[in-house]
Amino acid sequence: MSSERPGVDKTREKLLVVAEDLIAARGFERSTVSELCRRAAVTEKVFHTYFDGMDAVLHALFATWVRQMHTVTEEATRSGIWKGSAARDVIEVAVRSVLDVILERPALVRAFLTKGDADPGMMAELRGIGTRLAERIVAVLAECRDVPVQPERSVAFSLLVAVSLAHHYALIGDEWSGASFTAAQLSEETSRMICAYLGLGPTIRAMGELPDGAPTGEVPTVEGPASRDR
């Protein structure tokens, strides 16, 4: 039995995969149809059976990315899976899930933001992602304990801060403040900051300093006064 997905045009899919790699390497403005075709080993005539130009390629990549963002949102905020959970668990998982999708593809997000500034349709889609995520988090928080005060406004502001940091990371980089953060560390610190803002209490990781080089998932050991005095 074939493992290929039905309805998938392999040439078009290959062009999109190669285009994303090209944009990551050169940036969108310096990515050309001729270079994309060379890397994908197709003629420009074949390319133009699928796309009018690089703007059309970017819109196709954007459509796929938007679907991914919505899928991540729905999976992280499914009704019923958080019933009785601590509210901070919902916030941490939702925020990290969405930030991971943004931070793992900074060059692509940078292109979306740059082109989207002059494209009302793209901007509307970007706003729609945030609106949907805020709605889903607020809905799921109703199933949790220790729900923050005014969750609609608080969650909306929290997501604005989180996505602003992610956009800054994509547009400018991670060292604007003089300290360097990996994508995983930025996601971790943002989640902790939002939970603190919402008054949801510290996570285990927030009780101790995370070493700069610590991999994602490493939980620092926090010694109490008695153990330090031994």
Asked if residue 182 and residue 75 are part of one domain, the reply reads yes
Specify the pTM: 0.76
Report if residue 4 sits inside a domain.
no
According to DSSP, residue 30 is labeled G
The Cα–Cα gap between 13 and 195 comes to 39
Spell out the per-residue pLDDT of the chain, length 230, in tens.
344 444 458 999 999 999 999 999 999 999 999 999 999 999 999 999 999 999 999 999 999 999 999 999 899 888 888 888 888 888 888 888 888 888 888 889 999 988 877 888 999 998 898 889 889 988 888 888 877 767 788 888 888 888 888 888 888 877 667 778 888 888 888 888 888 888 886 544 444 444 444 444 443 333 433 444 44
Same-domain status, 179 and 110? yes
State whether 99 and 200 are in the same domain.
yes
Is 179 among the domain residues?
Answer: yes
Residues 110 and 145 in one domain: yes
Q: Which residues neighbour 229 within 8 Å (Cβ) at sequence distance 6 or greater?
A: none
CATH number at residue 126: 1.10.357
Q: With contact defined as beta carbons under 8 Å apart, do 84 and 138 qualify? A: no
Look at the chain and report how many structural domains it folds into: 2
